[in-house]
Structure 1
Amino acid sequence: MITLEPGTRLGLAIALAFTMFSVALGLKADDFSFLRNHPRRVAIGFLAQVLGLPLVTLLILMIFKPIAGIALGMLIVACCPGGNVSNLFTRLSGGDTAYSVTLTTCSSIFSAALLPFSVLFWTGLYAPTRELVNTIDLDRAAFIINTSLTLLIPLALGIFLAHARPSMAMRLQRIFIPVAVLIIAVIVVIGLASNMSLLRDFGSVILPYVIAHNALAFALGALIGFAAKFNATTRRALVFEIGIQNSGLGLLIMLSQFGGLGSGALILATWGIWHFIGGFTVLAIYRLARRNPPPIIQENTHGL
């Protein structure tokens, strides 16, 4: 366990609220125009994220049976909303950015309202995480209330400001988003530096799970995109939206609400670094495919 002082817990809660407020500043009414015009596409992508990824994660846990702390970290990652970085990767890959932004918006609002319920539901389906949550004596009611208020209030304030003062919200977001990213980065670095013994003990075990989990998240997006017969640009957006999760948000929740469980926090911190590597790898594949499209097979009009 990572020991946290009460003041540190309060600081993490403030950081969590600040992060959600920073994200909400960029949520505009225009983001929902895609939802009105393409409800099927949004519904499929949304369900793939909030149900598909946790379900795939649960299957991974049942097959490979990692220790409970690792399993808890993986499930929290799977329950988190898509990160805003997915919008950037989508744009760089030539994907449908409007679709990506809409999915990020929907998953962020869903998570603000229901993330604690989602975490408790999925962890309750896997015996080791269910027993772990019981062992750390998590106050479920307090967890739901604290997390929901910490996420919902700043989300509502950010959306209100984005609607009432859009130019101010845009200026603030340009400042706040880098600050929020820096706060999470500092927490990750300090957490890893102060828990090197945990990293030495669990690093070689954690990294394969993070790599496999992230790869399967990207693959899930591609598979659902093909199954739903989405066009290429929509599939790219869905791949990044499911493969890039807001693991920083999950790390803050793990540290502030789950007592700083070491192996779980390391999963989330490692995910926060690795999904950039995975994202750039997928981006390189897409850019290479666009540069070298498959040859067009000419129809034989003189043969059989």
Structure 2
Amino acid sequence: MSGAAQMTVRLLLPCPPRTAARAWGDWYFGHSLGAALERLGCTVRYSYRRDNVITRLATRLARRLRRNEVELVIRGKRVWRRIPGKPCVAWIISQSDSVTAEELRGYAHVFVASPEFLARIEGQCESASLLYQCTDAARFAPQDGQDTRRRILFVGNRRAYAPRDIVLKAIAAGHDIEVWGRGWDEVLDAGNYAGLHVENAELPAAYGRAKAVLNDHTDEMRRDGFVSNRVYDVLACGTPLVTERMAGLPDGFAEELLLYGDEAEFLARLEELPDRADQMTGRLRAFAAHVRAEHSFDVRARDIFAVIAKLSGQSAPLAPRVAAP
């Protein structure tokens, strides 16, 4: 039996379990990572944020009884309570405002999806390393029929802390935008509003048929250099992406994105799309292969395993660093 096969990883996710009606983006992120760890031979268990007190207590008891587990926190808005004596590492992919020095000291290792934030916290924790966000290479890839692109696409919920002003500005400027997400039905007319939710399995096709995808980040993510996983997903599909100019982009990404810094530059990028989308198609398809090979959950799982294997005294598996087919 290999070292990986003997290892159990409990993923502590900042979301509720999937239901028939809905699954959070964090659920898909966590389960794509879990599947990649399982491909390395790990046993993966999941814990979720729940409102039910009895279920929460039962989950905590199960965590306490399984002492041989390594816990991996996908950091959300709230801090997971530690189990004394159990190795625990964290992956900070956003919500940097709520991370404290006290919390960081409780982890055996901290993965950080931003080089800027990593530099800020390195002296506050036992050990830390850069681990960018990524894409599910088994799902996100260039699509058939992608040469007949249609509308500009935006997928995302509109909330008080995330009003998504770029969407309204693009529509006001006369651009044809297809919008999916909660909070839009009272703001947009039927010509732009497509619906509440795009199933995760349908996102690659939606990206593939789009002329371009619009993306934005919260002020906190932009300030601290946390690049959203949507950037990786869209690039993995070979589709033009319009997003903010910000710190934290991996090497080579800025050259393949349509970046903006203010409203005037944002609208200028949209005006360029009819020409730029056609010019970028071949280059973006080549870059999609790079993203899928070097920024997949399989690659991130190997990097995570290399750290947690040391914590449990095991050896890393010799799996190739390639994207899933």
Give the TM-score normalised by structure 2.
0.25
Instruction: Write 1 or 2 for the structure with the bigger share of helix.
Output: 1
Structure with the larger RCO, 1 or 2 (CA within 8 Å, 6+ apart): 1
Give the TM-score normalised by structure 1.
0.26
Instruction: Write 1 or 2 for the structure with the bigger share of strand.
Output: 2
